[in-house]
Amino acid sequence: MEINPNDLKPKDVYKLLSGAVIPRPIAWVSTVSKDGINNLAPYSFANALSGDPPTVMFSGGRPNGNNKDSIQNVLDTEEFVFNIVTYSLAQQMNISATTSSPEVDEFKEAGLTPGKSKLVKAPRVLESPINFECKLIGTFDISGGVGPGSLVVFGRVVHMHIADDVLLPDHKIDPLALDPLARLSGPSYSKIEQLLNIERKNWGADVDPKKK
Amino acid sequence: MEINPNDLKPKDVYKLLSGAVIPRPIAWVSTVSKDGINNLAPYSFANALSGDPPTVMFSGGRPNGNNKDSIQNVLDTEEFVFNIVTYSLAQQMNISATTSSPEVDEFKEAGLTPGKSKLVKAPRVLESPINFECKLIGTFDISGGVGPGSLVVFGRVVHMHIADDVLLPDHKIDPLALDPLARLSGPSYSKIEQLLNIERKNWGADVDPKKK
């Protein structure tokens, strides 16, 4: 099928794009508003971008033309925490995804514990095994569509909390122990069930699905 | 474990970050150089960013201080194609990931077919079921680390090629039919084996792992 995005409704373009670029990692972004209210929301238009310096990003739309609460809080405070959502935290993530007014503290709604961060005021999700404390380093505005567009937020990771039980020797992380929730599209998510190891130098090797 | 990234070697920070933010979608980026040589390389610090307007990004490091060939080609030509890597294309993806000089055409190395694009000069990967033709709309420079940093490239999707056999009614894409390769870290990849459906309105619902 050949598709010119201009010929479709924006929501249909969104369905195609979010259905094609999968699986996506989830940035579970915790922030605090300038009025001191904690906020927590998941973003899957998100990723790491660089290890040196350690940099992450997430992108949020502008429902009704306004920035999402997380984005507004990042712009106001220049800080956020990028928490990892595990499979076992799927329901709490889902509760935190519900659109709510800025006065709502999604930590309370979802029954999660806001943990003290080391270098930022925004709380971290204590139930999550990995929390990256971030300082805002820039934004990229996406506009020119039918609606009000999106804003991409870039953060420098200034401190990492990593649970010992997901760490392997030599600064590796065990993907099956971490058991992250992966975003697909619509109501669908997935998880990592087995690893496929592909050695880069070994061009002729067959793909070797390997259970842990 | 509490980690200040400044206390670690950059490669260890990279391992932690790329091991934590998983699974990542893979942008298999095809470009053409200003001298007319095709280039193909995978990037997993990549994602969709917005459906309206349709926008994607990928981030590439600067080995030896120079932009990667794909990035340099995007800067020179302001165009690229974002192809989706399926599980069955894992070996070809891996061959295209090998660092090689700008004169090398990774389509030839990997035995892939450069297909004619509709609105950009860069070829698309005919063997991939989804190709998004993109025009460069901006960049974000990541610097301030020990090494030469990275460059994030943003593209507007101007044309979509989507194979009929991965399309469902109502502009949905079938994740199991698409069977995308997911990036973890080190030599590890994964695939989508089952869907987990979580209805956003149904707060009290149990997580319901559902095989297709």
pTM: 0.94
Q: Left (φ > 0), alpha (ψ -120 to 50) or beta: where does A108 sit? A: alpha
Nearest to B54 by CA among A173, A6, A1: A6
Which tokens hold the place of A95?
A: 């509760």
Query: Can you tell me the distance from the alpha carbon of A132 to that of A120, in angstroms, rounded to the nearest whole number?
Result: 10
Residue B175: count of CB within 10 angstroms of its CB: 24
Q: Which residue of A has its CA nearest to B173?
A: A19
- Phi, psi at B93, each rounded to 5°: -60, -45
Please give the sequence-ordered ranges of beta strands (E in DSSP) within chain B, or none if there are none: 2-3, 27-32, 38-43, 46-51, 54-61, 79-84, 114-115, 124-125, 130-142, 150-162, 167-168, 172-173, 181-183, 188-191, 195-197, 208-210
Percent of chain A residues topping a pLDDT of 90: 87
Chain A positions in Cβ-Cβ contact with residue B152 (cut-off 8 Å): 49, 57, 140
Which tokens hold the place of A78?
A: 């220049």
CA distance to partner chain A, nearest, from residue B153 (Å): 11
CB B30 within 8 A of CB B81: yes
Nearest to A6 by CA among B122, B159, B48, B132: B159
C-alpha dihedral, A74 to A75 to A77 to A79, nearest 10°: 40
Please answer yes or no on whether A152 and B49 come within 8 Å at the CB atom: yes
- Phi, psi at A42, each rounded to 5°: -90, 140
**Cα A82 to Cα A52, A102, B157, distances in angstroms:** 17, 19, 27
Q: Is the pLDDT of residue B172 over 60?
A: yes
* Residue B98 confidence (pLDDT): 86
Query: Can you tell me the distance from the alpha carbon of A212 to that of B75, in angstroms, rounded to the nearest whole number?
Result: 41
Q: Which residues share a beta bridge with B81?
A: B30, B133
Q: Left (φ > 0), alpha (ψ -120 to 50) or beta: where does B57 sit? A: beta
* Residue B64 confidence (pLDDT): 82
Query: Can you tell me the distance from the alpha carbon of B43 to that of B16, in angstroms, rounded to the nearest whole number?
Result: 18
Task: Count contacts between A and B (CB, < 8 Å).
Answer: 343
Confidence of residue B191 (pLDDT cuts 50, 70, 90): very high
Q: Under DSSP, is residue B149 helix (H, G, I), strand (E, B) or coil?
A: coil
* Residue A201 confidence (pLDDT): 55
Q: Is the pLDDT of residue B211 over 80?
A: no
Please answer yes or no on whether A198 and B91 come within 8 Å at the CB atom: yes
Amino acid at A69: D
- B32-90 residue pLDDT tens: 999 999 999 999 999 999 999 999 999 999 988 889 999 999 999 999 999 999 999 99
* Residue A212 confidence (pLDDT): 32
Amino acid at B118: K
Residue that wins the pLDDT comparison between A139 and B100: A139
* Residue A65 confidence (pLDDT): 86
* Residue B102 confidence (pLDDT): 84
Please answer yes or no on whether A22 and B192 come within 8 Å at the CB atom: yes
Model ipTM value: 0.94
Chain A positions in Cβ-Cβ contact with residue B57 (cut-off 8 Å): 152
- Phi, psi at B149, each rounded to 5°: 80, -165
Nearest to B72 by CA among B125, B104, B31: B31
Nearest to B154 among A17, A140, A195 (CB): A140
The whole-angstrom distance between residue A100's C-alpha and the CA centroid of its chain comes to 18
Q: Name which of A142, A158, A210 to mutate to probe chain B: the one with the most chain B Cβ atoms within 10 A of its Cβ.
A: A142
Which tokens hold the place of A211?
A: 């259970």
Percent of chain B residues topping a pLDDT of 90: 87
Q: What does the mean pLDDT of chain B come to?
A: 93
- pLDDT-flagged residues of chain A (< 50): 202-212
Nearest to B22 by CA among B186, B199, B173: B186
Q: Which residue of B has its CA nearest to A28?
A: B21
Confidence of residue B201 (pLDDT cuts 50, 70, 90): low
Query: Can you tell me the distance from the alpha carbon of A178 to that of A116, in angstroms, rounded to the nearest whole number?
Result: 22
Spell out the domains of chain B, with CATH numbers in brackets: 9-211 (2.30.110.10)
Nearest to B153 by CA among B138, B143, B142: B138
Nearest to A190 among B19, B95, B196 (CB): B196
